[in-house]
Amino acid sequence: MTHPNITNGWFKETETLWPGQAMTLQVTEILHQEKSKFQDVLVFQSANHGNVLVLDGVIQATERDEFAYQEMIAHLPLNAHPNPRKVLVIGGGDGGVLREIVKHDCVEEVTLVEIDEAVVKAAKKFLPAMAVGFQHPKVKLHIGDGFEYLKNNESSYDVIITDSSDPVGPAESLFGETFYGLMRKALLPEGIICTQGECPWLHLSIIKDVLEHSRKVFPVVDYAWASVPTYPCGMMGFVLCCNTPGRNMRVPTRRFPPAFEAGGKLRYYNADVHQAAFVLPQFAKAALAL
Amino acid sequence: MTHPNITNGWFKETETLWPGQAMTLQVTEILHQEKSKFQDVLVFQSANHGNVLVLDGVIQATERDEFAYQEMIAHLPLNAHPNPRKVLVIGGGDGGVLREIVKHDCVEEVTLVEIDEAVVKAAKKFLPAMAVGFQHPKVKLHIGDGFEYLKNNESSYDVIITDSSDPVGPAESLFGETFYGLMRKALLPEGIICTQGECPWLHLSIIKDVLEHSRKVFPVVDYAWASVPTYPCGMMGFVLCCNTPGRNMRVPTRRFPPAFEAGGKLRYYNADVHQAAFVLPQFAKAALAL
């Protein structure tokens, strides 16, 4: 197999959204490649980062560092919520976010809505440590459009997590005001949403727009970030919005027992990391008025 | 001009210390290249990151994101110290750390000891926003070996900052126990040191070694980090050690006035960032016993 992003044994990320810079990873073997109905799906085995999932030329997850992103996008909203029982994931077809959500015993049901079944199939075959999330008895998988799903499920969820790719291609509409309005309607009282929030080093203006329209829809809006080496600039942000006026999502409402935190089942997140994640570099704090 | 790290208009970082991954930056023009007495010195103009300084194939600073590193390695130790008046910088030949240090009015004198004059000359010519640090009347430049300099300057400094390259090549000895012992002796009572501390995603065992031998030399040892996109994995750590038993360097002893913090002269650091920088991802916290 060959792929346009792979030359001389190295994968080079498509740079459209971050001109002039590109992460490269050494490739051992191309495991899977297809043009799905929605996007270019590539999985390769890398020399030092385990198997790597790439959509439309952009790294989505490597087995080496995916835990940072998955833990943060799941545990930030879930531990900010007093008692999350019903959770919806939009996107997240690799299953890694599911794996994290079911670490919360109080969660009774998780539904994942992924538009592209090809991603789920590729993950189940080549990213078993992430796709393990699909095997949990609390998890339901729905292949379909997140927009449509939200319209048909008002007042249904305590937490909604949008684990999407970037705002070009199939995920573009997931960054718009309409989508945030639909998420708000699908929440139960005290509900919280958490979405992939791009990177302040690269996309301050996109993030500003998202925060601005979120503030029209939700009474509480905040922004956190994590270090994820194989995402552009090594930083990934998260937009968090809450249905409850006055709720401070920066301090966890619930926390994992310290023995659980230190027991190896969490590799990035802990209660201190939760709080520190909301502290932004000065340039981002100023630009985002946070 | 040509350079072995530049092909088809893109610079690709040498991957010796982080096998299987390499940052690439688009090059507009090679501005300077030489084999100095100590290392390969390259400066290029990039498409989107301003001018870039590279030593032995490894990115040292880009004009786009250097402020994150320079602010943190300077302000963490300086604001942890109650009254820093005399400061020593070892390495840091681009001048950026000097630019940050002189933002503290209490500092009376800064000496920078750089082993490779070629770096200083290249910075003065091609990185003026960093080299501006050399122009300040409080700053003295000494071209020479940091080891030798420390031996001849016992009990002289409130803060010592080691802004070195990685522990291969000319900076290797700067990561050893002997060097930490010499820094300790060169400190005044209440003195603090801060050194470039590599990246927990890549070099936990190097960091463990450095912290272990630091603890033999200093009563207080700690570790912080910052997001710096063009360093490997986008994260850079800092080792901080203090002469004063019981001092908590995580909370700033002094802070910039809020108007200064928000006034545009700081782009990464603020007092909240100072505290959050010491919160490590769980895997690093566990491995480093912090």
Q: What is the mean pLDDT of chain B?
A: 96
Residues A202 and A277 in one domain: yes
Tell me how far apart the alpha carbons of residues A129 and A20 are, in angstroms, rounded to a whole number: 33
Tell me how far apart the alpha carbons of residues B131 and B109 are, in angstroms, rounded to a whole number: 17
Range of the domain at A17: 6-62
| pLDDT given for residue B175 in this prediction | 84
pLDDT of B169 > 80? The answer is no
Residues A222 and A238 in one domain: yes
Which residues in chain B are closer than 8 Å to A262, comparing Cβ atoms? Answer: 282, 286
| pLDDT given for residue B176 in this prediction | 87
Q: How many angstroms from the chain centroid is the CA of residue B4? A: 26
Whether A107 contacts A139, CB under 8 Å = no
- Picking from B12, B21, B71 by the largest number of A CB atoms within 10 A of its own CB, the best residue to mutate is B21
CA distance A55 to chain B (A): 19
Tell me how far apart the alpha carbons of residues B270 and B43 are, in angstroms, rounded to a whole number: 30
* Mean pLDDT in residue range A55-74: 98
What dihedral do alpha carbons B124, B128, B131, B132 form, nearest 10°? 130
Would A181 be classed as within a structural domain?
A: yes
Kindly indicate the confidence band of residue A166, based on its pLDDT and cuts at 50, 70 and 90.
confident
| pLDDT given for residue B102 in this prediction | 98
pLDDT of A10 > 90? The answer is yes
| pLDDT given for residue A167 in this prediction | 83
* Long-range Cβ contacts of A25-31 (<8 Å, 24+ apart): A25/A49, A25/A52, A25/A59, A25/A62, A25/A230, A25/B20, A25/B21, A26/B15, A26/B19, A26/B20, A26/B21, A30/A1, A30/A2, A30/A3, A30/A6, A31/A126
Residues A261 and A123 in one domain: yes
Nearest 5°: phi and psi at B171?
-95, 0
* Mean pLDDT in residue range B71-81: 98
| pLDDT given for residue B85 in this prediction | 98
CB burial string B210-234: b at 16+ within 10 A, e below: bbebbeebbebbbbbbbbbbbbbbb
Q: Which of B113, B268, B108, B81 is nearest to B189 (CA)?
A: B81
Q: What is the DSSP letter of A230?
A: T
Would B106 be classed as within a structural domain?
A: yes
pLDDT of A168 > 80? The answer is no
> Which whole-number Å values give the CA distances from A31 to A2, A93, A101, A123, in the listed order?
10, 18, 28, 11
| pLDDT given for residue B44 in this prediction | 98
Residues A47 and A74 in one domain: no
List active site positions of A: 163
A287–B contact, CB cutoff 8 A: no
Residue predicted with more confidence, B138 or B171: B138
Cβ pair A21:B268 closer than 8 A: no
Whichever domain contains A127, its CATH number is: 3.40.50.150
Whether A228 contacts A195, CB under 8 Å = no
Would A1 be classed as within a structural domain?
A: no
Q: Which of B264, B263, B221, B266 is nearest to B80 (CA)?
A: B221
Cβ pair A20:B48 closer than 8 A: yes
pLDDT in tens, A201-227: 999 999 999 999 999 999 999 999 999
Kindly indicate the confidence band of residue A290, based on its pLDDT and cuts at 50, 70 and 90.
confident
Kindly indicate the confidence band of residue B170, based on its pLDDT and cuts at 50, 70 and 90.
confident
Count how many domains chain A has.
2
Would A261 be classed as within a structural domain?
A: yes
pLDDT in tens, B195-213: 999 999 999 999 999 999 9
CA distance A182 to chain B (A): 33
pLDDT of A170 > 80? The answer is no
Whether A208 contacts A287, CB under 8 Å = yes
Would A278 be classed as within a structural domain?
A: yes
Would A118 be classed as within a structural domain?
A: yes
Q: How many angstroms from the chain centroid is the CA of residue B97? A: 7
Whether B154 contacts B188, CB under 8 Å = no
Would B1 be classed as within a structural domain?
A: no
Contacts of B153 (CB under 8 A, 6+ apart): B88, B186
| Partner-chain residue, chosen from B261, B275, B279, that has the shortest CB–CB distance to A282 | B261
Residues A275 and A189 in one domain: yes
Residues A121 and A177 in one domain: yes
Residues A257 and A273 in one domain: yes
Whether B205 contacts B175, CB under 8 Å = no
| Partner-chain residue, chosen from B227, B279, B282, that has the shortest CB–CB distance to A266 | B282
Residue in B40, B56, B94, B163 annotated catalytic: B163
How many other C-beta atoms can be found within 10 angstroms of the C-beta atom of residue B155?
Answer: 10
Q: Which of B153, B163, B226 is nearest to B193 (CA)?
A: B163
| pLDDT given for residue A87 in this prediction | 98
* Mean pLDDT in residue range B141-170: 93
- Measured over the CA atoms of residue B271, residue B274, residue B275 and residue B277, the dihedral's sign is positive
- Measured over the CA atoms of residue A61, residue A65, residue A70 and residue A76, the dihedral's sign is negative
Residues B33 and B92 in one domain: no
Q: Which residue has the tokens 């040509």?
A: B2
Q: Which of A44, A62, A80 is the last residue of a domain?
A: A62
Residues B136 and B23 in one domain: no
* Mean pLDDT in residue range B247-271: 95
* Mean pLDDT in residue range A142-153: 96
Tell me how far apart the alpha carbons of residues B137 and B101 are, in angstroms, rounded to a whole number: 12
Percent of chain A with pLDDT over 70: 100
| Partner-chain residue, chosen from A47, A229, A286, that has the shortest CB–CB distance to B201 | A229
CA distance A260 to chain B (A): 11
Would A35 be classed as within a structural domain?
A: yes
pLDDT of A82 > 90? The answer is yes
Whichever domain contains B26, its CATH number is: 2.30.140.10
Q: Which of B236, B216, B207, B270 is nearest to B75 (CA)?
A: B270
- Picking from A279, A280, A285 by the largest number of B CB atoms within 10 A of its own CB, the best residue to mutate is A279
Nearest 5°: phi and psi at A134?
-70, -20
Nearest 5°: phi and psi at B35?
-95, 105
| Partner-chain residue, chosen from A15, A21, A25, that has the shortest CB–CB distance to B20 | A25
Q: Which of A25, A43, A62 is the last residue of a domain?
A: A62
Residues A48 and A99 in one domain: no
Residues B58 and B72 in one domain: no
Kindly indicate the confidence band of residue B110, based on its pLDDT and cuts at 50, 70 and 90.
very high
Q: What is the mean pLDDT of chain A?
A: 96
A17–B contact, CB cutoff 8 A: no
pLDDT in tens, A39-52: 999 999 999 999 99
Which residues in chain B are closer than 8 Å to A282, comparing Cβ atoms? Answer: 261-262, 266-270, 273
Kindly indicate the confidence band of residue B165, based on its pLDDT and cuts at 50, 70 and 90.
confident
* Mean pLDDT in residue range A3-27: 97
| pLDDT given for residue B290 in this prediction | 84
Residues B33 and B118 in one domain: no
Q: Which of B38, B62, B86 is the last residue of a domain?
A: B62
CB pairs under 8 A between A and B: 121
